[in-house]
A = this chain, B = another copy of it.
Amino acid sequence: MDWKLWDRIAETHPLIHQLTNVVTVNDCANITLACGASPVMADAPEEAAEMAAASDAVVINIGTLRQDQLDAMARAGESANKHGVPVVLDPVGAGATRLRLEAVDRLLKRVKFSVIRGNSSEIGTLCGRRSGRGVDANLDDLDSLLPSIRNLAKELQTVIAVSGPVDYVTDGKQEAYVENGTPLLTRVTGTGCMLTAVVGCCLGAGIDPFRSAILSLAAVGIAGEKAKASLSEGEGIGTFRIRFFDEMSRMNGETLEQAGKVKLLEKSV
């Protein structure tokens, strides 16, 4: 694994256009800056296509979906596809409501994504929908989902990144497991959204989708580990969150090389 690819973000300073949720939009902008990229958050339907065309990567996150925003997302994604700008999707809560399921379906029909990043429940929903099995896949057991995930990645010609206690990445042929992280990351809102924004930063720096996903999962996991290790007696979630930003702003290829825990597998398909 060439961890030094990470440093390309700060070198190329890509512009990352993000259509995301109102809960974590500030965190996503700050993590983008921490990585050395430049964020622009614009989700009015009237300007989404124009902004996407002018950017180096587009991030679409359905965390607090509105109809007009969904329209903007489709326009931004199509414009990005047309202009060769990579797009990453975060299908937040995909299985929670009909609105979200239909939104994901609509986006997958209109937009080609370089990476889709979700947790096992969200990715399981995507697999279930498309295989006709509904949304009740056994989500606790990532292993049983792997064949469906590989098939979905091949069908959509995308990289799928599943975060969890151990993260999993596949493009249908290659596979990787990333073992960095800490459960504390799940006690702070937006770490998933920020992870997807980081994937956008990597893509925008010209890193290929498979390595963009691995680098992002490792970087966020390592920053979480270091932030946790820095906590003193009496410090909690608030301080952890700030240290996480500190560590992300200091992340580089060397740190990734030292602390990254990745297992790369070649799959014969």
The interface of chain A, by Cβ under 8 A from chain B, is: 21-27, 29-30, 33-34, 39-44, 46-47, 50-51, 54, 63-68, 93, 96-100, 187-190, 230, 234-239, 241-250
| 10 examples of A-B residue contacts, CB within 8 angstroms | A23-B25, A24-B29, A26-B189, A30-B237, A50-B97, A50-B99, A236-B249, A237-B249, A238-B245, A241-B242
Do B188 and A40 touch across chains, with their CB atoms under 8 A apart? no
- List the B side residues contacting A242 at CB < 8 Å: 238-239, 241-242
In this complex, the member of A42, A99, A190, A248 whose beta carbon has the largest number of chain B beta carbons within 10 angstroms is A42
Do B245 and A33 touch across chains, with their CB atoms under 8 A apart? no
Do A23 and B21 touch across chains, with their CB atoms under 8 A apart? no
In the assembly, how many copies of this chain are there? 3
Do A246 and B235 touch across chains, with their CB atoms under 8 A apart? yes
Q: CA of A23 to CA of B40 in the docked complex: distance in angstroms? A: 10
- List the B side residues contacting A39 at CB < 8 Å: 189
Q: A53: shortest Cβ distance to chain B, in Å?
A: 10
Do B24 and A26 touch across chains, with their CB atoms under 8 A apart? yes
Q: CA of A234 to CA of B229 in the docked complex: distance in angstroms? A: 12
- List the B side residues contacting A188 at CB < 8 Å: 30, 33
From known contacts A33-B189, A39-B189, A237-B245, infer whether A97 and B47 are also in contact, taking CB-CB under 8 Å: yes
